[in-house]
A = this chain, B = another copy of it.
Amino acid sequence: MILTVTLNPALDVTYGVGALIPGSTHRIRDVGVRAGGKGINVARVLAGFALPVRATGFLGGVTSDQITALLGQSTVEVCFVPIAAETRRTVVVSDGVAATGFWEPGPAVSAGEWRAFVAGYPGLLDGVEVVVLAGSLPPGVPDDAYAGLTTTARSAGARVILDTAGPALRAGLRAGPEVVKPNRGELEEVTGQAAPTPRQALGAARLLRNDTGTAVVATLGGDGLIASTMDGDWRAALPAALPGNPTGAGDACVAALAAGLLRARPWSELLADAVAWSAAAATAPTAGTVDPGCAHRLRPSVVVAAI
């Protein structure tokens, strides 16, 4: 079983428009709604691959009902902790070429709500082999939240993947998650190293792994990914970048990492899966979805090189 934690989920709303014209009014014909937030996205991808997955985090207000109903259409086991404030929405306006996003602020979580989450969390680890801690922290949740959740998961024998940024990433790393998955910007931010090329990104990843003992898998968009692990360093990519929508590719990568840890796959196999799942997400007609058949077809093309 994989447990994904999404402390700051969102209802992701997509508006399709012919063209976005600032200052004018757009009548929307197509409204897409999806349960969102990194951990929820990871859970949905895993469920699409028929893997057992449980999702937790905070949900509040009417958006909570919508997200719960949407997740109810999948096989994801839904175990969220209620909060009084309203879960945020994100609105993306898509004209078929560019996506313009509007991110509402996360709802405030009270000290009591955070305590309730921490109290219930060990129970959710029952039967869990891999924990995914993903996304930003809402107001009211302490910066070291992921550190505590990592420590508890490790004590329960689970392996932890952390995908976040800034202070939450730095604090979380101190508790020794098994893998972190920064993107290029997050890797640069946490290491203070510029990483414009895969070679420089690998240098930064090595630095981070040496400092922390945590394997680093960094997603580099069309450049694929690089990994620095205890078992070696790799670069994995398709021979040529596929055009597409990068939204959700990072979450698909995390899902593949979680699936690989669950199945105890060797790094080279696991990283090839990660590239294939990410590329399938990037080329999907609906942002953030992964067609397992597409990932399966792309998989043999992925080149994994030990460095």
Mark A residues whose CB is within 8 Å of B: 15, 17, 20-29, 31, 62-63, 65-66, 91, 93, 98-105
Contact = CB atoms under 8 A, between A and B. Distances in A.
A185 to B, nearest CB: 13
A100 B24 contact: yes
Contacts of A93: 102
A96 B172 CA distance: 39
- Give how many copies assemble into the complex: 2
24 contacts: A15-B104, A17-B102, A21-B100, A22-B98, A22-B100, A23-B99, A23-B100, A24-B100, A24-B101, A25-B100, A25-B101, A26-B100, A26-B101, A26-B102, A26-B103, A27-B105, A28-B103, A28-B105, A31-B104, A31-B105, A62-B65, A62-B66, A91-B102, A93-B102
A21 B20 CA distance: 10
A102 B100 CA distance: 12
Contact of A98 (B20, B23, B62, B100): B23
Contacts of A20: 22, 100
A102 B24 contact: no
The 6 closest A-B pairs by CB, nearest first: A62-B62, A25-B101, A23-B98, A20-B22, A27-B103, A22-B100
Please indicate which of the listed interface residues A17, A91, A99, A103 has the most CB atoms of chain B within 10 Å of its own CB: A91
A29 B88 CA distance: 12
Please indicate which of the listed interface residues A22, A98, A101 has the most CB atoms of chain B within 10 Å of its own CB: A22
A81 B62 CA distance: 19
Q: Is the interface of A mostly helix, strand, loop or mixed?
A: mixed
A269 to B, nearest CB: 34
A276 B18 CA distance: 38
Contacts of A24: 100-101
B26 A105 contact: no
Contacts of A23: 98-100
A15 B100 CA distance: 13
B28 A104 contact: yes
A105 to B, nearest CB: 6
Contacts of A28: 102-105
B15 A102 contact: yes
